[in-house]
Amino acid sequence: MHAGLDSAELISQLCAEHQKEGCTAGIDVISGSVGDMAERGICEAFKVKQAVLLSSTEAAEMILRVDEIITCAPRRREDRM
């Protein structure tokens, strides 16, 4: 995690909160603490998550295509003169 926060500590706190009932805990990067995101009015729409998954899938597919093009041997070309 960036933003100058102790990622190991925050992740362990977040995991502990997620074990509790009603898992709406998240990391507040402004205060640098774990808190209830529903209480703070922070929510992420399904459409946002869907768009992120679609974009990341397309990016991975594009990388694989480029890798395949680069690793393929060039075709033999015959002189046509």
What pLDDT score does 58 carry? 94
Confidence class of residue 51 from pLDDT cuts 50, 70 and 90? very high
pLDDT above 80 for 35: yes
Residues 17 and 27 in one domain: yes
Residues 49 and 38 in one domain: no
pTM for this entry: 0.47
> How many domains does the chain fold into?
2
* Residue 80: inside a domain: no
pLDDT above 70 for 1: no
Residues 54 and 17 in one domain: no
Which residues, 6+ apart, have CB-to-CB distance to 42 below 8 Å?
A: 26
* Structural domain boundaries, residue 12: 1-42
Consecutive H or E run containing 7: helix 7-19
* Residue 79: inside a domain: no
Tokens encoding 34? 């774990």
